[in-house]
């Protein structure tokens, strides 16, 4: 049975600045992309040119019937050099916020989505001697433009940031969630401290952070081992949000844990473009797991699938939303669903993985709305989460 939601439920889509804006030249990732012998196969370049075309993107979102847009403010643009705050960059992001409000779209703003200024990384990054002071200084600079923003995410997927830091130290071979080593605990603790300090700067603005939920599942006899994996890689970050105004849940697939660690999916299992198991049940499981640990409102800030088959995108999203509907029907406090992503964008080294509801021509930047986007917009207009297929 379809599950109706309140009129205040957020139906939207998400992006991140580095992945869609283009020419984020003062950032650490831009430096990595463009260095000699870069480990990344492709560069972000002009990306989707959303820095200039954000109005068009907002019009598409609104016309689909969606009422929320999650986007980021890029620290490297706001503070391209230490202590130099760009008034022009702040004005740009304020215009985006006002553009959302003028269109009846709720802005959900992320302050840090993986990328940092290059100077921050050179100074030691999150474990540098001045990291917390530098990040809170940036948040303090941004705070005046956030009037009218009801949802602010301080840091996106801090658990992934800490695990990638550990990967860089250990030489782990890839970024598949289950293959990552435990987080660099110094980085994890620094991120938690930075998050709490940032919330202190945001006063009356509702704030939280977003977690990469990996839906750890144990094979028989490995429950304790799976719990240890989950605590290091996910649960300590969920627990750090216990006093927040909300928490962002971000789920795509699952990781099955055996006595010796992650168990590969069945070779016959469906896979997405990125190599993950096709597992739309991850969203319901992630929401239920998060609600079992802390009692704060939940906002689904990312969920989607990398696929070139738009029918498969609709199938995955339908099943994920049906699971979310079961959680809502059981009384879990879920305030909205933001699909990843609005656009086919730069996926951290590759343009091959298409998550978007809207295709973007790499040469002309022409936007083409996919049928899955129109289907999703119809759900939003009806205000119901779908029943099972």
On average, the pLDDT of the chain sits at 96
Q: Is the pLDDT of residue 20 over 50?
A: yes
What band does 1 get if pLDDT is binned at 50, 70 and 90? Answer: confident
Phi-psi region of 156 (alpha: psi -120 to 50; beta: other; left: phi over 0): beta
Q: Please give the Cα distance from 382 to 65 (Å, whole number).
A: 9
Tokens, residue 276 = 């993950």
Instruction: Categorise residue 350: left if φ over 0, alpha if ψ from -120 to 50, beta otherwise.
Output: beta
In a domain, 385, yes or no: no
Rounded to an integer, the average pLDDT of 10-22 is 98
Q: Which two tokens stand for residue 55?
A: 């109005």
- Strands 216-218 and 207-213, sheet pairing: unpaired
Q: Taking the alpha carbons of 358, 361, 364, 368 in that order, is the dihedral positive or negative?
A: negative
Q: Is residue 75 part of a domain?
A: yes
Instruction: Give the tens place of pLDDT for each residue, 348-387.
Output: 999 999 999 999 999 999 999 999 999 999 999 999 999 7
Residue reference for tokens 């070779």: 267
Q: What is the pTM of this model?
A: 0.97
Q: What are phi and psi of 157, to 5 degrees?
A: 45, 60
- For 271-334, give the secondary structure using H, E and C: ECCCCCECCCCHHHHHHHHHHHHCCCCEEEEECCCCCCCHHHHHHHHHHHHHHHHHHHHCCCCE
Distance CA 269, CA 2 (A): 28
Which helix H or strand E contains 52, and what residues bound it?
helix 50-64
Q: For residue 338, give every residue at least 6 positions away whose Cβ sits within 8 Å of its Cβ, in sequence order, or none.
A: 10, 12, 13, 14, 68, 70, 108, 299, 300, 301, 302, 303
Work out how many domains the chain is built from and give that number: 1
Confirm if 218 and 226 have CB atoms less than 8 A apart. yes
The residue with greater pLDDT, 132 or 204, is 132
Whether 157 sits among the annotated catalytic residues: the reply is: yes
pLDDT tens track for 299-333: 999 999 999 999 999 999 999 999 999 999 999 99
- Residue 268: give the domain boundaries: 3-376
Summarised one tens digit per residue, pLDDT across range 33-90 is 999 999 999 999 999 999 999 999 999 999 999 999 999 999 999 999 999 999 999 9
Sign of the torsion angle spanned by Cα atoms 274, 209, 108, 86: negative
Supply the pLDDT for residue 179: 61
Which residue from 341, 336, 354 is spatially nearest to 299, judged by alpha carbons? Answer: 336
Tokens of 78: 């706001």
Other C-beta atoms lying within 10 Å of the C-beta of residue 46: 16
Q: Which residue has the tokens 């379809």?
A: 2
Question: Is the model's pLDDT at 172 over the cut of 60?
Answer: no
Residue 387 placed within a domain = no
Dist CA 204 CA 251 (whole Å): 28
So what's the pLDDT on residue 168? 74
Q: What mean pLDDT comes out for the span 254-266?
A: 94
Q: What is the CATH number of the domain that holds 347?
A: 3.20.20.80
Give the pLDDT of residue 181. 82
Q: Mark 201-210 as b/e (b = at least 16 C-beta within 10 Å).
A: bbeebebbbb
The residue behind tokens 């009806």 is 382
Within a domain: 384 = no
pLDDT single digits (tens) 101-124: 999 999 999 999 999 999 999 999
Measured CA to CA, the distance from residue 343 to residue 91 in angstroms comes to 24
Neighbours of 129 (CB within 10 A): 9
Whether residue 382 lies inside any domain: the answer is no
Residue 381 lies in a domain: no
Residue 389 lies in a domain: no
Question: What share of the chain in percent tops pLDDT 90?
Answer: 94
Q: What is the dihedral of CA 315, 320, 324, 327, to 10 degrees?
A: 110
CA 355 to chain centre: 12
Q: What is the largest CA-CA distance in the chain?
A: 57
Of 157, 234, 284, 302, the active-site residue reads: 157
Residue 167 confidence (pLDDT): 79
């Amino acid at each position: 049975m379809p599950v109706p939601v309140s009129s205040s439920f957020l139906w939207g889509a998400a992006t991140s600045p580095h992945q869609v804006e283009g020419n984020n030249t003062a950032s650490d990732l831009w430096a990595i992309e463009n260095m000699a012998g870069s480990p990344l196969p492709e560069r972000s370049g002009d990306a989707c040119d959303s820095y200039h075309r954000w109005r068009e993107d907002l019009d598409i979102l609104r016309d689909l019937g969606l009422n929320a847009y999650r986007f980021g403010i890029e620290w490297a643009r706001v503070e391209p050099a230490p202590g130099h705050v760009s008034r022009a960059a702040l004005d740009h992001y304020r215009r985006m916020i006002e553009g959302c409000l003028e269109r009846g779209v709720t802005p959900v703003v992320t302050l840090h989505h993986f990328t940092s200024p290059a100077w921050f990384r050179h100074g030691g990054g999150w474990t540098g001697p001045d990291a917390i002071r530098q990040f809170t200084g940036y948040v303090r600079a941004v705070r005046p433009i956030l009037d009218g923003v009801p949802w602010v995410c301080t840091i996106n997927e801090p658990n992934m940031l800490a695990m990638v830091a550990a990967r860089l130290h250990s030489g782990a071979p890839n970024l598949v969630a289950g293959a990552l080593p435990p987080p660099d605990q110094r980085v994890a603790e620094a991120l938690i401290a930075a998050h709490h300090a940032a919330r202190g700067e945001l006063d009356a603005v509702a704030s939280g952070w977003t977690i990469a939920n990996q839906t750890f599942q144990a094979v028989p006899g490995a429950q304790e081992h799976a719990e240890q994996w989950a605590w290091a890689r996910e649960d300590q970050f969920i627990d750090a949000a216990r006093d927040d105004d909300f928490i962002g849940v971000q789920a795509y697939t699952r990781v099955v844990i055996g006595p010796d660690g992650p168990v590969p999916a069945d070779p016959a299992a469906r896979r997405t473009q990125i190599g993950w198991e096709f597992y739309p049940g991850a969203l319901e499981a992630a929401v239920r797991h998060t609600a079992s640990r802390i009692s704060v409102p939940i906002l689904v800030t990312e969920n989607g699938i990398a696929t070139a088959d738009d029918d498969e995108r609709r199938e995955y999203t339908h099943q994920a939303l049906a699971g979310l509907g079961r959680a809502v029907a059981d009384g879990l406090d879920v305030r909205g669903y933001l699909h990843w992503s609005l656009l086919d964008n730069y996926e951290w080294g590759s343009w091959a993985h298409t998550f978007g509801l809207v295709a973007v021509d790499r040469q002309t930047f022409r936007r083409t709305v996919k049928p899955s986007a129109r289907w999703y917009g119809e759900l939003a207009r009806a205000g119901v989460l779908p029943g099972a297929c």
